[in-house]
Amino acid sequence: MKLRRSFKDTRGESALFQRRAVAGFLLILLSFGLLVARFHFLQVTHHDEFALRSTNNSVKPRAIPPARGLIYDRNGVLLADNVPAFRLEVIPEKVPSMQAMLDELGTVVPLGQDDIDAFKKQLAQSRRFDSVPLKLHLTEDEIDRFAVNRWRFPSVAVVPYLTRHYPLGPLFAHVVGYVSRIDADDLDRLDPDEYKGTSHVGRTGLERYYEDVLHGKPGYELVEVNADGQTQRVLKTIPPTPGENLYLSIDVRMQKATMAAFDGRPGAAVAIDPRNGQVLALVSVPTYDPNLFVNGISGADYKALNDAPDRPLTVRALQGVYPPGSTVKPFLALGGLEYGVRRPQDTVLSTGQFCLPGQKRCYRDDTRGGDGTVNMVRAIEMSTNTYFYKLALDLGIDRLSDWMSRFSFGAKTGIDLPGESKGILPSREWKSKHSKFGWFPGETVIAGIGQGYWEVTPLQLGHAVATFAGHGVPYQPRVVMATRANGVAQMQMLANPPTGPSLIQKPADWNVVDQGMRAVITGGTGSKGGIFTGFPYVIAGKSGTAERFSRTSDAYDTNKSSAHLAARHRAWFEAYTPAEDPKIAAVAMLESGAWGAADAGPIVRKIFDSWLVIQGKTAPPDIAPPEQSLPAPNSTVDPDMEDMPAESSSSGDGP
Amino acid sequence: MIDTMAIRMQRFLRRILTRPRIDLPLAAALFILAGVGLVTLYSASDSSMAMVGGQAARFVLGAGLLLLISRIPPSMLRNWTPWLYLASTAFLVVVAVLGEGRGANRWLNLGVMRFQPSELLKLTMPMMVAWYLHPRQLPPSWKDSAVVGLLIAIPVALIAKQPDLGTALLVAAAGAFALFLSGMAWWRIGLIVAAVGGMIPVAWHFLHQYQRDRVLTLLNPESDPLGNGWHIIQSQIAVGSGGMFGKGFQQSTQSRLDFLPEHTTDFIFAVFSEEFGLVGVIALIVLYAFIIGRCLWIAMEARDTYSRLLAGALGMSFFVYVFVNGGMVAGMLPVVGVPMPMISYGGTSAVSLLVGFGVLMSIHANRKMHD
């Protein structure tokens, strides 16, 4: 550098720079001259013309908001409608003192603090001649009272608009969701040009996920206004483009039957068509009335919903996470076959407990004394823990979690609804992020029966069962089947291609697990109490009863009353039918159920029955009432009772 | 060791605190400009003292930074230059990966504040070009010109992708001016201009649809009466109806009756033109020209190549603001987000402009004859 510096002709460079600076400045002056010439052209040459246009400037564009797309079930039953209503709007530029006007108006039409807050936020973001909605959904009484006092408020007008209405209310609250008033955060996020004149935006559910499809494009009209800004006449109108309508793959009748099957007990159910990933029913109990939210929910109503102990606002089907218990066993069995760790005929002796070599603590079977020698089909049928403890150990945690991840456990399924939880798929990787301890072999053992770190959403399990039922071909679950633009007769079906090739390499493996799941219905937990008798198609399924809390003593639970157990258990049932050619897969989960099969099983049966009805068949009348299927309070054992290790999990398995 | 450190520190502090720093004509011109800006804003914002006060506070902040930076010697700035350039370009990459903001990804959220890294490049770009050319033989060789071209192209491409064409244009111009002032041969400049001209159809292909629409609506404003066409029509009515002497202070009907959109930010110059007429416009442009001329004068007096190129490039890029914003307001150029310096309402550009003038003051303070 130093050397090169010495060669630099400093004086010459300085002179060169001076010439350039002068040249540059002359170019700048020339450009400024051009600019001044343009201003001269506008301000002097054409001054008269522009002065005239300025004084006559009375034409303003006004946005016309688009009508929001409607939402239908798969047969065209209306789920979300637009209904006319009236609201108060204020034109800010005509208000001398906003606070005084609001105070005065408040004596005529009651204004809530929520209304005023939302109004002020929107006011700050609006042009002064754009009217801003103040109070939505006026009652007739309010309209009348305002009409009498109209003369006192020249800046306020009662304006008709379309508001959202959900005719079926709570039934689809967790699927369709609701729209609510645009707030300050939304204004940051939304394109102001697209939302001119629009007061509502999709907040939850499909209303949110498909906002872009449902919203449409605003139109505008050029209106001539007088000096007070009042419209004199409309010169030109470009109509808005309404949003597209949505068609769900859910059938209202199935959704109703599924909801009814819960009888108000908290839980969730999902039914999916394994052939294409279409969601046929998606229910989360308890639910709420989405209509409350549309025009601003009152503080008291919101508090009641938000503070309710059974959390009706939570979408249990996709946000709630629960230990899956034995429902993971068929998937694990399939993994054992696919990895070549097990052959179908390999047997395991179940003695009632399984001990890791070198460890004192043992893991229990559900049946005292064990199920004896079981092969894979029998192990699925009897839900034999020892078989799956060993299988999990032989697979190892890495292969186990890798295999299970292919069914979207521990990841979002990609359903077209917002807010899905990922759940937890036990793995070394997950544990290293959440614990300072390494992975213990005992954790692999209990992962084999869906306990330990495991957490799944009902949707994830439904998706997994559907993927299995569809011979391993994975589809993303889809609630919306088709869209239809306004004025177009034909629905546009939404493509939902499989997300990959079949997960199953050897088709024979599928048959083995299918055999085991059929046996559950004919001879295993699902056969009790006639839950599935009389159904015209072959059903394959699996129950699961997961502990809500870990045990603190190694004794068998001696209190076997249903109420006592229900407080401790999550009840699951997963099934698909017809087993030869599966067309529907369903999962039901009760947050407080004593036994998977006895409590969640009947819900799945009712889902299948309603599906039959829709297929044009009638449900067989001879369904045993579920009350009879409940185990007697003092029944000794239930083969479906999976358990945590005999030792409390809080003390851990120890390194 | 510690002693020498302490002595050096002491010397540095004394140097920073004792020397005369400020070029009075330039400072006076900036002071007048800030005054004009606040008066115009008062009218354009419907006498909102909140906005005028906020803008005045930013001017005070900017002036404080100006004074502070004027005390940093250019040699020190030169040593920092590559790092400042790399850091600001790295910020751009970060924004490209995880930026936030409606539509355009140009903001970086630091928790306490959000800022636009592209704003930094307005200063670090001419610094980098000047740093690179400083030790080299001038006029620059083809090779050196190509390296400078690359130094300019990378951050500009990142900014243009955000997409923020206005800032990309300002940053590119700042770098290009430094190259121009270094004495690059006229015929080479001609060649590059021709090449860039030939690239326009290709560039058109890469523009976002809304950017193309802006150019197209310039040719036919009536085609988009709700959006940019409306801006252009109403802005021209404001300017044209101002006439020779204007409608008078606070008499802009276009702004008062809300026909003119963005009348405190990008289109504030239309309000100025409506109220003060052609006479006001010429006076303001003369003031701008004086500031640019003074910057170039400071550049000619500068001690070394780095300072010369940097000061000259900063002064000339000030011209781009005025020309692009003025051209937009007069319906001559498409609508791009370039503010009228010191007049448009808004924080970042006012502060970053004054920081740039701080660098100029420092170069002035270290000019050749006084050493």
**B137 contact A CB<8A:** yes
Partner-chain contact A44 B243, CB within 8 Å: yes
Q: In the structure encoding, which two tokens stand for residue B16, read together?
A: 């920073």
CB B125 within 8 A of CB B177: no
Q: Are residues A465 and A346 in the same domain?
A: yes
B332 or A638, greater pLDDT: B332
Q: Are residues A210 and A319 in the same domain?
A: no
Q: Are residues A388 and A445 in the same domain?
A: yes
Interface subset of A 51-80, CB within 8 angstroms of B: 51, 53-55, 57, 60-61, 63
**A185 contact B CB<8A:** no
Partner-chain contact A53 B237, CB within 8 Å: yes
- Closest partner residue to B258 (CB to CB) among A128, A188, A220 is A128
Partner-chain contact B239 A4, CB within 8 Å: no
pLDDT at B333: 87
**Is the predicted pLDDT of residue A637 greater than 90, yes or no?**
no
User: Which residues in chain B touch residue A54, judged by CB atoms under 8 angstroms apart?
Assistant: 237-238, 240-241, 253-254
Q: Could you tell me if residue A289 is inside a domain?
A: yes
Counting every residue written for chain B, the total comes to 371
Q: What is the mean pLDDT of chain A?
A: 84
**Is the predicted pLDDT of residue A189 greater than 60, yes or no?**
yes
Tens digits of residue pLDDT in B26-38: 999 999 999 999 9
Q: Could you tell me if residue A47 is inside a domain?
A: no
Q: Could you tell me if residue A29 is inside a domain?
A: no
For the segment B181-195, the average pLDDT, to the nearest whole number, is 88
For the segment A387-394, the average pLDDT, to the nearest whole number, is 92
Examine the fold and report which residue of A232, A248, A264 is the final residue of a domain before the chain moves on: A248
pLDDT at A461: 96
Percent of chain A with pLDDT over 90: 45
* Backbone dihedral angles phi then psi of residue A405, each to the nearest 5 degrees: -65, -25
Interface subset of B 75-94, CB within 8 angstroms of A: none
Tens digits of residue pLDDT in B133-162: 998 888 888 899 999 999 999 999 988 887
What's the pLDDT band for B56 if we cut at 50, 70, 90? Answer: very high
> CA of B233, closest CA in chain A: separation in Å?
10
Q: Could you tell me if residue A632 is inside a domain?
A: yes
By CA distance, what is B184's nearest residue in A? A20
Give alpha helix (H) positions in B182-304.
Answer: 186-206, 209-219, 228-242, 253-256, 268-300
Q: In the structure encoding, which two tokens stand for residue A588, read together?
A: 């039901």
pLDDT at A160: 85
Partner-chain contact B332 A193, CB within 8 Å: no
For the segment A74-92, the average pLDDT, to the nearest whole number, is 89
Q: For residue B133, which of B316, A25, B125, B295 has the smallest C-alpha distance? A: B125
**Is the predicted pLDDT of residue B177 greater than 90, yes or no?**
yes
Tens digits of residue pLDDT in A16-62: 899 999 999 999 999 999 999 999 999 999 999 888 888 877 777 77
For the segment A399-411, the average pLDDT, to the nearest whole number, is 93
Edge-to-edge strand ranges of the sheet holding A231-238: A59-64, A219-225, A231-238
Q: Could you tell me if residue A487 is inside a domain?
A: no
CB A318 within 8 A of CB A419: yes
Partner-chain contact A39 B281, CB within 8 Å: yes
pLDDT at A230: 63
Q: For residue A586, which of A254, A102, A156, A157 has the smallest C-alpha distance? A: A254
- Closest partner residue to B181 (CB to CB) among A17, A43, A47 is A17
Percent of chain B with pLDDT over 70: 88
For the segment B198-205, the average pLDDT, to the nearest whole number, is 83
Partner-chain contact A24 B277, CB within 8 Å: no
Q: Are residues A571 and A621 in the same domain?
A: yes
* Rounded Cα distance, A513 and A375, in Å: 11
For the segment A68-89, the average pLDDT, to the nearest whole number, is 91
By CA distance, what is B322's nearest residue in A? A32
Q: Tell me which of A20, A223, A224 to substitute to probe the interface with B (most B C-beta atoms closer than 10 Å).
A: A20
Query: E-assigned strands of A119-202?
Result: 132-135, 156-165, 179-181, 200-202
pLDDT at A226: 60
pLDDT at A379: 92
User: Which residues in chain A touch residue B293, judged by CB atoms under 8 angstroms apart?
Assistant: 25
Tens digits of residue pLDDT in B90-120: 988 888 776 554 444 566 665 545 577 888 8
How many domains does chain A divide into?
A: 2
Q: For residue A91, which of A196, A230, A295 has the smallest C-alpha distance? A: A230
pLDDT at B244: 92
* Rounded Cα distance, A54 and B235, in Å: 11
Partner-chain contact A53 B296, CB within 8 Å: no
Q: What is the mean pLDDT of chain B?
A: 85
**Is the predicted pLDDT of residue A565 greater than 80, yes or no?**
no
Query: For chain A, how big is the Rg over CA atoms in Å?
Result: 33
The highest-confidence range among A174-188, A453-467, B17-31, by mean pLDDT, is: A453-467
What's the pLDDT band for A644 if we cut at 50, 70, 90? Answer: very low
Q: Domains of chain B: which residue ranges?
A: 32-365
| Angle at alpha carbon of residue B265, lines to B264 and B270, rounded to 5° | 70
Residue at A157: amino acid letter: A
Interface subset of B 258-287, CB within 8 angstroms of A: 258-259, 261, 273, 277-278, 281-282, 285
What's the pLDDT band for B60 if we cut at 50, 70, 90? Answer: very high
A111 or B224, greater pLDDT: A111
User: Which residues in chain B touch residue A36, judged by CB atoms under 8 angstroms apart?
Assistant: 278, 281-282, 285
**Is the predicted pLDDT of residue A2 greater than 60, yes or no?**
no
Partner-chain contact B261 A36, CB within 8 Å: no
Q: Are residues A171 and A260 in the same domain?
A: no
> CA of A130, closest CA in chain B: separation in Å?
10
Q: Of the ranges A134-143, A220-229, A272-281, which one carries the lowest mean pLDDT score?
A: A220-229
**A2 contact B CB<8A:** no
For the segment B223-239, the average pLDDT, to the nearest whole number, is 78
- Closest partner residue to B138 (CB to CB) among A13, A19, A63 is A13
The highest-confidence range among A58-67, B109-118, B176-185, by mean pLDDT, is: B176-185
Q: Are residues A205 and A290 in the same domain?
A: no
Q: Decide: residue A279, CB within 10 A, 0-12 exposed, 13-18 middle, 19+ buried.
A: buried
pLDDT at A655: 35
What's the pLDDT band for A176 if we cut at 50, 70, 90? Answer: very high
Tens digits of residue pLDDT in A284-335: 989 999 998 888 777 788 888 888 888 999 999 999 999 999 999 999 999 9
**A124 contact B CB<8A:** no
Catalytically active residues of A, by annotation = 326
pLDDT at B108: 62
A37 or A561, greater pLDDT: A37
Q: Are residues A141 and A228 in the same domain?
A: yes
Q: At what angle do helices B228-242 and B209-219 cross, to 10 degrees?
A: 40
Tens digits of residue pLDDT in A426-462: 999 999 888 888 888 888 988 999 988 999 999 999 9
0.90 exceeded by pTM: no
Q: Are residues A154 and A117 in the same domain?
A: yes
Q: Of the ranges A149-153, A461-465, B171-175, which one carries the lowest mean pLDDT score?
A: A149-153
Q: Are residues A153 and A298 in the same domain?
A: no
pLDDT at A555: 40
The DSSP element (H or E) to which B121 belongs, if any, is: helix B117-133
For the segment A403-432, the average pLDDT, to the nearest whole number, is 93
**A398 contact B CB<8A:** no
pLDDT at B27: 92
> CA of A495, closest CA in chain B: separation in Å?
27
Q: What is the ipTM of this complex?
A: 0.90
> CA of B292, closest CA in chain A: separation in Å?
8
Q: Are residues A262 and A223 in the same domain?
A: no
Helix (H, G, I), strand (E, B) or coil at A231: strand
* Rounded Cα distance, A21 and B180, in Å: 9
DSSP class of residue A526? G
pLDDT at B28: 93
Q: Are residues A226 and A260 in the same domain?
A: no
* Rounded Cα distance, A564 and A247, in Å: 43
Q: Could you tell me if residue A495 is inside a domain?
A: no
Tens digits of residue pLDDT in A595-604: 777 788 899 9
Q: Of the ranges A562-566, B280-284, B306-310, which one carries the lowest mean pLDDT score?
A: A562-566
CB B107 within 8 A of CB B100: yes
**Is the predicted pLDDT of residue B3 greater than 80, yes or no?**
no
> CA of B181, closest CA in chain A: separation in Å?
5
Read off the CATH number of the domain in which A340 is found.
3.40.710.10
Q: Decide: residue B205, CB within 10 A, 0-12 exposed, 13-18 middle, 19+ buried.
A: exposed
Range of the domain at A343: 252-305+315-481+511-651
Name the pairing type of β-strands A219-225 and A245-248: unpaired
What's the pLDDT band for A198 if we cut at 50, 70, 90? Answer: confident
- DSSP for A379-393, please give it: HHHHT-HHHHHHHHH
Q: Of the ranges A264-278, B1-15, B236-250, which one carries the lowest mean pLDDT score?
A: B1-15
Q: Are residues A473 and A601 in the same domain?
A: yes
Partner-chain contact A40 B323, CB within 8 Å: no
**B308 contact A CB<8A:** yes
pLDDT at B104: 45
**Is the predicted pLDDT of residue A629 greater than 60, yes or no?**
no
Q: In the structure encoding, which two tokens stand for residue A339, read together?
A: 């990895």
Partner-chain contact A57 B278, CB within 8 Å: no
**Is the predicted pLDDT of residue A5 greater than 50, yes or no?**
no
What's the pLDDT band for B206 if we cut at 50, 70, 90? Answer: confident
Match 């529907």 to its residue by tokens: A584
